[in-house]
Amino acid sequence: MAKNTQVKESSTLTSSIFGNDSSKIDTSISNLFAQPSKINNRDLIASKVRTVVEIPNGVVVTDKDVVEPMQIDQPESKKRKTKAHNNDGDDENDDLESKYMEKLLNEDKEDEEDTKEKKDEEATKRTRSSKAKVVDLKNDELEKAERTVFVGNVPSSILSDKKLTKEFKKFFSEFGKIDSVRFRSINTTGDAPRKVSFINKEFDDKKTSNAYVVFIDKQSSIKCSAELNGKVFMNHHLRVDHLTHPLKQDNQRSIFIGNLDFEETEENLWKFFNDKFEKENNGEKVVENVRIVRDPKTNFGKGFAIVQFNDTNFVSKALLLNDTKLTTSLKPRKMRISRAKKMINKNQNSSTSTRKNLTDKQKTIIGRGKKFLNKSDRNTIGRLVVEGERSKKGSMAKGLKNGKKKPRSKDGRVTKRSQEFRKKLADSK
């Protein structure tokens, strides 16, 4: 029934497409479309014809007799050729890529070497510039100041006698080895310059001078300043103080003394106040230190002094001695005694324009240096030192004019003194 229905359906389709004329219809094609859509595999296998080979009886079949199928050399497909061609191209491309990458790596290495060379050159330039412009902090002088002790009220007779200088060094060498001893504020007898009078040993033995004792070790200098202050050497009370670690200036234990003679000495003040108050202090010394303010050029006193006691009780007792004469002096005068006041520091209000570019550490070093160093070092500390500036042609230096010193004034005090000194030398010859 199903077949009949399929035939009817196919006939209706052909008639609808080609009409009733059967000659126009290809029966093979129509039969192909007339078959069912699902293929019956069993019928298909059964319909196939099998080839059967008949082997006669008594014949043994071996593996040699089996004929292997012929392998026909077929031409390679286009796909394989294109793949092989592509593989060859890939190899060439790989070579090109490897060469290109090597080239890039070499260029990168060259760039790195160039950058390293540039950095090294910049570093050397910076070091040269930093070496050329260095802030002069006087580190060597500050390190030396840490081992230095100031000694005041030193008798000038030490300068003219070598034995006394050796005794002076032995007096300080008990606390450690001494590196050097410098004498300052020297008083001379003649009108010649200080250098000339120092060479000729024309010292005024009646007056005193100052000294700087430099120890090898810092600790020995601190011990020396603590124990030798106020000790007597050659009938003189020495004022010993450390240069960088000085004794505290206590105004509550100090008095101001005015109306003194310009040629007054510290020893007279030591003796006067110790004699007055030693009995009340059970024979012990009362004065801690005495300082007469002097003119740095002439070494004459300015007429006033500061005396510091061991205890504040002696300040009130010393104030009662106001308008009394200094009996220990060769020229006794009435003293004007009052309480000591805090002195204004001149360097406190100085301009800080030159210190703007300095670090905090450098500022502290400069501050300490201005307090402890000598006059020339105080003026030059913190300045930029340009190495090789003076060696250049045409460069100007401070105090010089076109490579020559300024001419000395003919009416000056120094020229008159030097001329008189030369006349004396000529007359003596």
3-state secondary structure 135-193: ECCCHHHHHHHCCEEEEEEEECHHHHCHHHHHHHHHHHHCCCCEEEEEEECCCECCCCC
Is the Cβ–Cβ distance between 327 and 249 less than 8 Å? no
| Domains in the chain: ranges and CATH | 2-37 (no CATH), 138-247 (3.30.70.330), 250-343 (3.30.70.330)
- The angle subtended at Cα 263 by Cα 257 and Cα 268, nearest 5°, is 60
In which element (H, E) is residue 386 found?
A: strand 384-386
- In the chain, the N- to C-terminal Cα span, in Å, equals 172
pTM: predicted TM-score of the whole model, two decimal places? 0.53
Helix, strand or coil, per DSSP, at residue 237: strand
Do 369 and 141 form a contact (C-beta atoms < 8 A)? yes
Which residue, among 253, 252, 251, 255, has the nearest Cα to 337 in the 3D structure? 255
Q: Which of 253, 325, 261 is nearest to 288 (CA)?
A: 253
pLDDT in tens, the chain (429 residues): 544 555 555 555 555 555 555 555 566 666 666 666 666 677 777 776 666 666 666 655 555 555 555 554 555 555 555 555 555 555 666 677 777 777 777 777 777 777 777 777 777 666 555 544 566 666 777 788 888 899 988 888 888 888 888 999 998 888 888 888 988 888 777 777 777 777 887 888 788 888 999 999 888 888 888 888 888 888 889 889 888 888 888 888 999 999 998 888 889 999 999 888 887 777 788 888 898 988 877 778 888 999 999 888 889 999 999 989 998 888 888 999 999 887 655 555 444 555 666 777 777 777 777 766 767 777 777 666 655 555 556 556 555 555 556 677 777 777 888 888 888 888 887
Smallest CA-to-CA distance from 336 within 269, 259, 271, 264 is with 259
In 10 A of CB 334, how many CB atoms?
Answer: 13
- pLDDT score recorded for residue 256: 93
CA distance linking residue 237 with residue 271, whole number of Å: 9
Q: How far apart are CA 225 and CA 229, in angstroms?
A: 6
How many whole angstroms separate alpha carbon 295 and alpha carbon 214? 25
| Separation CA 427–CA 330 (nearest Å) | 36
Between helix 2-18 and helix 27-34 the angle, nearest 10°, is 130
What secondary structure letter does DSSP report for 243? Answer: S
For 328, the token pair is: 């220990």
What is the C-alpha to C-alpha distance for residues 130 and 127, in angstroms, rounded to an integer?
5
